[in-house]
Amino acid sequence: MNIRGSLILLLLAFSSLNLFSQQISVKGTVVDNTNTPLPGVNVIVKGTTKGTNTDFDGNYTLSNVEGTETLIFTSIGFVSKEVSINGRTTINVTLEEDSALLDEIVVTGLGQSQNKKTVSTAVSTISSKKIGELPVSRPEAVLQGTTPGITVVQNSGAPGAPLTIRLRGAATPGSSQPLYLVDGIQVPDIAFVNPSDIKNITTLKDGASAAVYGARGGNGVVLITTKKGRQNGNLQVSIDGYTGFQNRLNTPNLMNRDQYVQYYNEYQTSVGGQTIAQSDIARLPDTNWYNVLFDDDPMKSFINASVSGGTEKSSYYFSGSIFDQEGLVGGKADKSGFDRKTINFNFNTELKKNLKLRLGANLIRVKQRRLPGENDDSVGGGNPFNQLAVLLPIFPVLDADGNYYDVSAQNGPNSVNGVAIPGVNGPFNPLLALDFSTIEDRSNNLFLNGGVEWNVLEDLTVDLNYGYYENLTTNKSFQESYDFRNGTVPNGIASLGNTGNNQLDESYFDNRFNQFDATIKYNFNKLIPEDHDLELLVGTTALEESNTFSARRAQGLSKNTFDDANFALVGDQSTIISPVQGSDREGSLLSYYTRATYNYKQKYLFTSSLRADQSSKFGPGNRTGYFPAVSGGWVISEEDFFNQDSFVNLLKLRASWGINGADNIFDDQYRLVFNNTSNAIIGGSSVTGFTQAFLPNTDVKWEEVAQTNFGLDINALDNKLGITFDYYNKTTTDVLLPVGVPSYVGLPTAFQNIGEVVNEGFEFLISYKQDYDSGFSWNANFNIAKNDNEVTDLAGVNPLRDGETLNFNDPISITVEGQPIASFYGYKVKEINANGELVFDDMVDGVAGLSNDDRTIIGNAFPDFTYGFNFGMNYKGFDFGGFLYGSEGNDIYDATTRTDFSLSNRPASYLTNGVQNLLGNTAGSNLRDVSDFYVKDGSFLKLRTITLGYSLPQSAIKSFGLSSARLYVTGENLFVITDYEGADPEIGQANVTSPLDIGIDRGFFPSAKAFIFGFQFKF
C-alpha cells in the first residue's frame, strides 16, 4: 500500500474515533419478551454513575454520553443486559425474565413511580399477567386473595353484580369503598374497564401512600394503569378469548318429599290435624326447586382484540372486547345476564423533543338483566331465591292444566293427584317472576383523558392532565299482566291488585366527573452530592362531580311485552307518576399537594407529603382539610457491615404514618335545603310548596383516618424467595354519622362528626420461584391477613341498627361501642330443653328474667383472617397453575328459613336438631327472635381457578404469522370446603347502599362454578 492510501485509511480511522468520542444523546424503549414496555429499568453508563430510569412506557433518554461507551440495563426480575452504543442514538432493548419474584417498579400515584427497593410505604401491585389468569367480569375481583389486606366479597353471584371491597377493614359505619383512579382520573367504580386493557393494578394501603390523595384516600386507593403502545415498536396484534359453561356450586340440604311429609305429619298429629297417608306419598311429586329454577350449563364467553405499535416519535394502542355471561337462573331466558362491549384507544406522541402529548378514549356499553329482589327477603320484591327454601317438595311445578302451580293455593284446590296437601300462604311460584317480570339496566360509559408533558429542563417536568367520565344508565322494569286461574295475581309478584294491569318503571341516572391536574416535578440530583437522590412534586387538582336522577311509573300499557313497553303506550298520560323524588346534585373538590422523595445510596429512604382539600360538601369554616404523611425506610442489606455473600439479597425495614380524609355524606348538609315536591290542601285544592329537607349542621367537617404502618421486606436465595410483612393501626375519628333527632321535629336525620373506629392488623406474604436447566420451573406464593375492627366511641349516640327482615322481629345488625361494625345482635341460646324450645340466656344483664337487656353480640360478618395461595408450573410449553382463596371466622346469619310462612319447608337438619316442630304456627314461640341459633360459621376455602395450558412451538405457528399461541382450559370455583349449609358462604352487603347490612343470607344468588376453554394469540 502506498503512502497516500495509508494516510487516507489513517484519516478515516481518526474520523471514526472522533465521531464515537463525541458526546451524543441516546434514547430507546425497553420491553420484555412479550413486547410489553418495562418501566423503572435502570439504564447506567458502564463504569460511571451516570444513568436514568425508563418511564411508564419503557422509554428512556440519556444525554451527554460517549459513542464508544456501554449501557447496562438492569431490573429486578430480569436478566441484566450490556449493550455497546457504537455511535447509535436509538437503542431498543428486550430483557428476559429472571428468577426474581418482585417487580422493581411501583406506581405511587400522581404520575410518579419508584424503584421497589426505595419504597417505604405499603403498596401492592398486580401485573397484567396475573389479571389475565383470572377470567373475571369485573376487574376488582382480581384483588381477592392476590393481595393481603384486601377483603373482596360478592354482593351477589349474579353476572356483573357489585362487590364489597375493604382495604384493611371497614374504616367507618358509612361507605368504606376505596378510591378508584384509572390512569390518574377518579371514577366511581371500575366495572367499565376491560380487564385485558389493564397493565397493572396498584393498591395504596397505608396512610402515607394514600395521603397524597388526602380527601378521599381514607378507605385506601386502587390505581389502574392501562396498556399503551411503545415508540419504535413493531405492529403487534393480539387476540384472546374464552368460552365455557357454568353450573351451581352447592345445593342446600332441604327436606325432600318423604322428609317433609314425615315432619308435616308430626306437626299435624301434635295439633290434632289431618295427616297425609303413607299410601298417598308415592302419588305426590318430589320436587327439587333448585333443579327447577337453575339452568343447565348457561354460557360465559369473552373475546378481546388489540393492536399496538409505534413510530420513532409516537405510539398507539387500540382494543375492543365483548364479554357475555348468562345467569345461573333465567340466563337462557335472557332474564339474567351481563353483556359488556368496550372500545379503547390511546395515542402518545412527541410534539417536540421536550414536549409530549397523550390522548385516550374509552367507550363502554353495558346491558345487565337482573332478577327481581336479589338478596331481598321482601315478598313484594319477587326474589325467587328466597322462595327456594320455602316451597314444599310436594308441590308440582305445573298444575293439571299446564299452568304454573299456585303454591299459595290462593286461587285453586289444595290437592295434587287427588291427595290433599297444605298450602303456604305468602310465597309464589318462582317461575312466575322469571316469565312475567323483566329488569334491565343499560349503561353508556365514556372515559376520556388527555395531557401534555413538558420537560422544561432536563430535571424539570410540567404535566397537565384532563379527564372526563360519564355514566348514563337507564333502568327499565316491566311486569306483564297475565291471568292466573282467573283470579288475582299471587302475592309478591307485582303487587298490582289485579291481573288486568301491567306496570312499567324506568329510572335515569346521569353521573359525570370532570378532573384537571397540574403538576411540577423537579429532580435535585445535579444540585446535591452524587449519592443523594431527591425529587419534589407539587400540584393541584380540580374535580367536579354531578349526579342527576329521575324516575317514572305507569300501569295499563296497551302492549304487554318488555321490548314494546314504553310510556307512549299509556292511554291516560296523566296517570304517569314519579314514584320517588328526583335529584340533581353537584359537588366540587379543589386540592393542592406536595410530595418529596429522598434516598441516600438507596440505603436510607424518606418520603413526606402534604395535601390540602376543599370540599363543597362542608361549610366555609370547615371546608378545608389538611392531610400530612411521612415514611422512612432502612435498606440494611446496603450497609457495609452486611455480608454481601449472604443468602439474603434484600433486607429492608419500613415505617410510615399518614392522615387521610373522607367526605362520604350527602351534599349541602351544612345549610338549609328545601324540597319543592310537598303538597298541602289549601282551600280544598292540592297545592305544591316547599318544605325543609333536613336539619342542617353548620359544624359538619372532614372525617379523618390516621394510620401507622411498620413493614419488613426480604428477598433471598438469589431473589427466588420473597417475604413481606406489615403491621398497621388505623384510627378513624370525627366519623360522619346521621344522628337521630326527636320525632316531633319531623325532619330527617342530620350528619354529625362523632365516633371513632379502630382497625388493627397484619399482612404476610411469602413467595418462591425456581427454574431448572431441564426447562421445568415452578412458583408459589401464600398470603394471609388479619384485621380487628372495633367501634371505640359513638359519643353517646344510640347504636346504629340495620339488617331488617320479614322473618325476624328486630333488625339483625348493630353498630355499638366496643364491638366490630355491623355485628349481629340478639339472644344467646343456652340450651334446647326437653320440649324442644330454645332457652335464651337471661343473665346476660346480671338480672334474672329475660328482657331486651339480655340481648348481646352473637356474631360478626367480618372474617378473623383471609388467605390466598397461588401456584404455577411450566415445562416445555405446558403450564399448570391454580389459585385458592379462604376466609376464616366470618359468621353468617341464616334468614332463609321462613318461620313466618306457615307450613313452609325446612332444612333437613330440623329432623334431628331437637327444635320443637311448630311447622304450622310459630306464634308465641321465640323462633322469630334474633338469636345465635341462626348464626352459622361461614368460613370457607374455594378453589378459585385451576388452569392447564399449552403454548405451541414456534415451528408450528410461524407459518401462520403468529409470534405466540397458547390454548388452555380453566376451572372456576370447582369446589368449596365449608360447614355452611346454604347455597354460598360468600355473602357481602345486601346492596351497595347498605354498608351495615352484611353477611345476612335472605336467599342469595350464589356464585357459579365453570369450565372454560380459551386461547391467546399474538401476531
Q: Quickly state the pLDDT bin for 612 (edges 50, 70, 90).
A: very high
Quote the CA–CA distance of 77 and 768 in Å, as a whole number.
Answer: 12
- Cell digits for 644? 454481601
In this prediction, residues 640-653 reach a mean pLDDT of 87
SS3 of residue 977 by DSSP: strand
pLDDT single digits (tens) 220-263: 899 999 998 887 777 889 999 999 999 999 999 999 999 999 99
Q: Is the pLDDT of residue 350 over 50?
A: yes
DSSP 635-659: EGGGSTTS-TTSSEEEEEEEEEEEE
Q: Is the pLDDT of residue 103 over 60?
A: no
- Cell digits for 799? 347504636
Q: What percent of the chain is modeled with pLDDT above 90?
A: 54
The bridge status of strand 964-972 relative to strand 1008-1018 is antiparallel
The bridge status of strand 750-753 relative to strand 736-739 is antiparallel
In this prediction, residues 72-83 reach a mean pLDDT of 81
Furthest CA-CA distance within the chain: 131
pLDDT at 667: 75
Q: Quickly state the pLDDT bin for 689 (edges 50, 70, 90).
A: low
pLDDT at 9: 47
- Cell digits for 609? 407529603
SS3 of residue 905 by DSSP: coil
- What burial letters (b/e) apply to 717-755, b meaning 16+ CB within 10 Å? eebbbbbbbbebbbbbbbbbbbbeeeeeeeeeebbbbbb
In this prediction, residues 643-662 reach a mean pLDDT of 89
Quote the CA–CA distance of 721 and 705 in Å, as a whole number.
Answer: 34
Residue 480 and residue 559 in contact, taking contact as beta carbons nearer than 8 Å:
no
Q: Is the pLDDT of residue 10 over 50?
A: no
Q: Is the pLDDT of residue 562 over 70?
A: yes
In sequence order, what are the residues at sequence separation of 6 or more whose Cβ sits closer than 8 angstroms to the Cβ of residue 524?
459, 532, 534, 535, 536
Residue 276 and residue 264 in contact, taking contact as beta carbons nearer than 8 Å:
yes
pLDDT at 63: 87
Secondary structure element (H or E) that encloses residue 624, with its range: strand 624-635
pLDDT single digits (tens) 262-299: 999 999 999 999 999 999 999 999 999 999 999 999 99
Q: What percent of the chain is modeled with pLDDT above 70?
A: 90
Average pLDDT of the residues of the chain: 87
Q: Angle CA(794)–CA(796)–CA(797) in degrees, nearest 5?
A: 70
- Cell digits for 943? 378453589
What phi and psi, each to the nearest 5 degrees, are found at residue 213? -105, 25
pLDDT single digits (tens) 873-901: 999 999 999 999 999 999 999 999 988 88
In this prediction, residues 119-129 reach a mean pLDDT of 87
pLDDT at 145: 84
| pTM of the entire predicted model | 0.85
In this prediction, residues 674-686 reach a mean pLDDT of 61
SS3 of residue 618 by DSSP: coil
Lowest average pLDDT, out of 74-83, 918-927, 1008-1017, goes to: 74-83
Secondary structure of 340-362 in HEC code, one letter for each residue: EEEEEEEEEEEEECCEEEEEEEE
Q: Is the pLDDT of residue 62 over 50?
A: yes
In sequence order, what are the residues at sequence separation of 6 or more whose Cβ sits closer than 8 angstroms to the Cβ of residue 558?
569, 570, 571
Q: Quickly state the pLDDT bin for 495 (edges 50, 70, 90).
A: very low
Residue 224 and residue 181 in contact, taking contact as beta carbons nearer than 8 Å:
yes
- Cell digits for 971? 376451572
CA nearest neighbour of 717 among 785, 665, 771: 771
In this prediction, residues 55-75 reach a mean pLDDT of 86
pLDDT at 679: 58
The number of angstroms, rounded, from the C-alpha of 658 to the middle of its chain's C-alpha atoms is 24
Q: Is the pLDDT of residue 104 over 80?
A: no
pLDDT at 722: 93
Highest mean pLDDT: which range of 86-100, 423-437, 1003-1017: 1003-1017
pLDDT at 965: 92
Residue 814 has, within 13 A of its CA and on its CB side, a CA count of 19
Q: Is the pLDDT of residue 451 over 80?
A: yes
Q: How many helices (H) and strands (E) does the chain have?
A: 8, 54
Q: Quickly state the pLDDT bin for 1005 (edges 50, 70, 90).
A: confident
Quote the CA–CA distance of 39 and 340 in Å, as a whole number.
Answer: 30
Query: Cell 324516575 maps to which residue?
Result: 551
Q: Is the pLDDT of residue 687 over 70?
A: no
Residue 217 has, within 13 A of its CA and on its CB side, a CA count of 32
- Cell digits for 974? 370447582
Quote the CA–CA distance of 589 and 179 in Å, as a whole number.
Answer: 14
Quote the CA–CA distance of 231 and 479 in Å, as a whole number.
Answer: 55
SS3 of residue 10 by DSSP: helix
In sequence order, what are the residues at sequence separation of 6 or more whose Cβ sits closer than 8 angstroms to the Cβ of residue 213?
109, 179, 181, 204, 221, 611, 660
Residue 85 and residue 65 in contact, taking contact as beta carbons nearer than 8 Å:
yes
- Tally Cβ neighbours within 10 Å of residue 401: 7
Quote the CA–CA distance of 102 and 155 in Å, as a whole number.
Answer: 32
pLDDT at 751: 78
Residue 848 has, within 13 A of its CA and on its CB side, a CA count of 0
pLDDT single digits (tens) 776-822: 999 999 999 999 999 999 888 889 899 998 889 999 999 999 999 99
Check residue 139 and report its DSSP letter: G
The answer to whether the Cα torsion of 372, 375, 381, 383 is positive or negative is: positive
pLDDT at 198: 92
Q: Which residue type does 779 have?
A: N
Secondary structure element (H or E) that encloses residue 258, with its range: helix 257-271
Check residue 684 and report its DSSP letter: T
pLDDT at 381: 52
Dihedral class, residue 973 (left if φ above 0, else alpha if ψ from -120 to 50, else beta): left
The number of angstroms, rounded, from the C-alpha of 827 to the middle of its chain's C-alpha atoms is 34
Which segments within 215-336 are labelled E, that is strand? 221-226, 236-248, 299-310, 314-326
User: For the purposes of burial, counting CB atoms within 10 Å of the CB of 200, is it exposed (0-12), middle (13-18) or buried (19 or more)?
Assistant: buried
pLDDT single digits (tens) 379-393: 455 678 888 888 999
Check residue 82 and report its DSSP letter: E
Quote the CA–CA distance of 6 and 815 in Å, as a whole number.
Answer: 94
DSSP 393-408: TTS-SB-TTSSBP-TT
- Cell digits for 1003? 336467599
pLDDT at 796: 83
Residue 91 has, within 13 A of its CA and on its CB side, a CA count of 24
Residue 636 and residue 642 in contact, taking contact as beta carbons nearer than 8 Å:
yes
Q: Is the pLDDT of residue 622 over 90?
A: no
Query: Cell 324450645 maps to which residue?
Result: 837
